[in-house]
């Protein structure tokens, strides 16, 4: 079941319910809540144009971090940004990040694959922003950049999210390399 505006407000009033901080009821939509862009970003370093991404290695050295308002995203550029809001979901709710249609109509996507906010997580959401337009796009701190939809689980989770990005407060580069611990990945073998 997807939460309506009343469901979101009801959960926020409960102990251990959904938390959105800061929260302003003005940004509550019929079945979602608008999230806003911060001025923090990470982008691939232009001097690393001939580098290669290896999923077994840390990509952090290929990127640089900054703050700016506005954030200018060149055509076909991928950057990481984050939301102003911290979103917390209880053990019986899954959050789903979606783009705003007005942002999408500019040619901008805000997440490649990381659209789920797992039960038990509380974080400022890192956005995977990609400019598909043939022109640079200028984004400003505080604009509605996306929306979060909350879905009630049929049953409460046995355990909450305990992954690499739990409680993230800043823009986070991929930590995929931590899955492998310098060992080649075998999908049939559990990772210790």
pTM equals 0.87
Check if 128 is active-site.
yes
| Residue of 128, 162, 169, 172 marked active site | 128
- Rounded Cα distance between 155 and 157, Å, is 6
**Coil vs helix vs strand at 24:** coil
- Judge whether residue 182 has pLDDT over 60: no
Task: Specify the length of the chain in residues.
Answer: 192
Q: Please, which pLDDT band fits residue 131 given cuts at 50, 70 and 90?
A: very high
- Rounded Cα distance between 149 and 161, Å, is 18
Annotation: CATH topology of 5-156? Deoxyuridine 5'-Triphosphate Nucleotidohydrolase; Chain A (2.70.40)
- Rounded Cα distance between 89 and 17, Å, is 7
Q: Domain locations in the chain?
A: 5-156
pLDDT for the residue 187:
64
């Amino acid at each position: 079941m997807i939460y309506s505006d009343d469901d979101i407000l009801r959960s926020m009033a409960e102990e251990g319910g959904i938390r959105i901080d800061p929260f302003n009821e003005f940004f509550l939509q019929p079945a979602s809540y608008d999230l806003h862009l911060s001025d923090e970003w990470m982008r691939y370093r232009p001097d690393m144009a001939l580098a290669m991404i290896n999923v077994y290695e840390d990509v952090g050295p290929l990127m640089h971090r900054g703050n700016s308002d506005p954030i200018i995203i060149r055509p076909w550029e991928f950057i990481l940004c984050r939301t102003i809001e911290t979103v917390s979901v209880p053990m019986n709710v899954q959050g789903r990040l979606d783009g705003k249609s007005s942002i999408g109509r500019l040619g901008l996507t805000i997440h490649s694959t990381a659209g789920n906010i797992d039960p038990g997580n509380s974080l400022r959401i890192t956005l995977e922003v990609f400019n598909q337009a043939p022109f640079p796009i200028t984004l400003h701190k505080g604009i509605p950049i996306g929306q979060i939809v909350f879905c009630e689980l049929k049953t409460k989770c046995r355990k909450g999210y305990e992954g690499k990005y739990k409680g993230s407060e800043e823009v986070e580069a991929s930590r995929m390399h931590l899955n492998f611990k310098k060992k080649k990945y075998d999908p049939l073998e559990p990772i210790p």
